[in-house]
């Protein structure tokens, strides 16, 4: 018999805990969907409500998300390209098929590595910054201040970041494609004794439009996910500076998890 004086049995506590976590995830999913809907609403109908999304805010976010991330994306991409080339040649050498490395590297970079690595970098760099910014604003009553000024926080804060992510993550992925393939080319041309022109020609011949679209389409989805996960975590802040640190870390972990799961789902649906 259960009474307030007696604690729940352990298995009931576990079930309760599972229920709480599930409810929290379903809540977050609902909030994310609502945010996406509201964002689309403000993009499409903001000007009709005389609350258009400011172009300068989008450009500023594009600068922050995209242009300032170019050095780190370039560095990581060229390293990934080089590693894939080294590993690929080494693995294919056993079968005497090292000349096929260009094909393997091209496909794996464009369809998988460039979008995923770029997404993870942007989640760590911009997703965390967005969650930190939003949570700090929550704590300082800045979101309340926006509301009572008649400024919708989703339109003012979320939409510029979302649009910037939707544009810049695919563009950064395209850049990562080029840099990683050139990085791989540096090693492949040396190791296989072919010219850079031959390597580039082979790469272009192997890659189809569908491959490029597959990678860029995924990165577009990743951009949306990074923003939404940042907002959901940032707006759930409690406490002071410690809370900001907590939601920022959680935003990065959740973003990376969301990217990998979304990647798996997209690959499962489109590749088999």
Partner 1 sequence: MPLSELEPIIEVIDLTTHYGSRKILNGISLTVHKGEVMVIMGGSGSGKSTLLRHLIGLEHPSSGNIKLLGQDIRNMTEHDMTQLYRKVGVAFQSGALFSSMTVGENIMLPLREHTKLDQKTMEIMARLKLEVVNLAGFEDLMPSELSGGMLKRAAFARAVIMDPVLLFCDEPSAGLDPVVSSSLDELILRLKDALDMTIVVVTHELESAFRIADRITVLDKGDILTIGTVDDVRASDNRRIQDLLNRHFEEEILDPDAYLARLTGESEALFSQV
Q: Binding of partner 1 at residue 253 (CB under 8 A)?
A: no
- Which DSSP string do the residues of 66-101 spell out, in sequence order? TGGGHHHHHHHHHHHHHHHHHHHHHHHHTTT-GGGH
Q: Binding of partner 1 at residue 136 (CB under 8 A)?
A: yes
Nearest CA to 85 among 69, 62, 63, 101? 101
Nearer of residues 63 and 260 to partner 1, judged by Cβ: 63
Q: Binding of partner 1 at residue 172 (CB under 8 A)?
A: no
- Which DSSP string do the residues of 105-155 spell out, in sequence order? HHHHIIIIIHHHHHHHHHIIIIIHHHHHHHHHHHHTTHHHHHHHTT--HII
The footprint of partner 1 on residues 47-76 (CB under 8 A) is: 49, 51
The distance of closest approach from Cβ of residue 63 to partner 1 in the complex, given in angstroms and rounded to an integer, is: 13
The distance of closest approach from Cβ of residue 151 to partner 1 in the complex, given in angstroms and rounded to an integer, is: 5
The tokens of 138 are what? 């929550």
Nearer of residues 54 and 246 to partner 1, judged by Cβ: 54
Nearest CA to 131 among 107, 106, 111, 161? 161
Whole-number Å distance between alpha carbons of 124 and 239: 23
Q: Binding of partner 1 at residue 20 (CB under 8 A)?
A: no
- Which of 40, 63, 145, 204 lies at the binding interface for partner 1 (CB under 8 A)? 145
- Which of 28, 79, 108, 152 lies at the binding interface for partner 1 (CB under 8 A)? 152
- Which of 151, 210, 241, 257 lies at the binding interface for partner 1 (CB under 8 A)? 151
The distance of closest approach from Cβ of residue 50 to partner 1 in the complex, given in angstroms and rounded to an integer, is: 8
Binding piece for partner 1, criterion CB under 8 A, among 101-109, 112-120, 137-145, 215-223: 137-145
Task: List CB contacts of 153: < 8 A, sequence separation 6 or more.
Answer: 143, 146, 147
Binding site residues, partner 1, CB under 8 A: 49, 51, 133, 136-137, 140-142, 144-145, 147-152, 156
């Amino acid at each position: 018999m259960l009474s307030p004086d007696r604690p729940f049995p352990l298995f009931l506590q576990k079930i309760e805990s599972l229920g709480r976590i599930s409810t929290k995830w379903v809540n977050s999913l609902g909030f994310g969907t609502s945010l996406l809907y509201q964002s689309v609403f403000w993009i499409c109908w903001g000007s009709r409500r005389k609350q258009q999304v400011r172009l300068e805010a989008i450009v500023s976010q594009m600068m922050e998300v995209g242009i300032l991330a170019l050095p780190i994306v370039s560095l990581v991409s060229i390293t990934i390209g080089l590693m894939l080339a080294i590993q690929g040649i080494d693995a294919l050498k056993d079968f005497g098929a090292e000349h096929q490395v260009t094909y393997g590297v091209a496909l794996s970079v464009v369809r998988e590595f460039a979008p995923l690595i770029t997404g993870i970098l942007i989640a760590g760099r911009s997703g965390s910054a967005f969650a930190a910014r939003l949570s700090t604003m929550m704590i300082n009553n800045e979101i309340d201040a926006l509301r009572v000024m008649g400024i919708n926080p989703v339109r003012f804060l979320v939409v510029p970041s979302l649009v910037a992510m939707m544009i810049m993550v695919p563009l950064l992925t395209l850049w990562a494609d080029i840099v990683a393939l050139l990085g791989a080319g540096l090693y492949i041309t040396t190791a296989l004794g072919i010219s850079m022109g031959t390597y580039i020609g082979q790469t272009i011949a192997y890659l189809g439009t569908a491959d490029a679209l597959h990678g860029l389409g995924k990165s577009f989805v990743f951009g949306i996910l990074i923003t939404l996960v940042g907002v959901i975590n940032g707006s759930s802040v409690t406490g002071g500076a410690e809370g900001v640190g907590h939601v920022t870390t959680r935003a990065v972990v959740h973003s990376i998890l969301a990217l990998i799961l979304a990647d798996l789902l997209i690959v499962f649906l489109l590749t088999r």
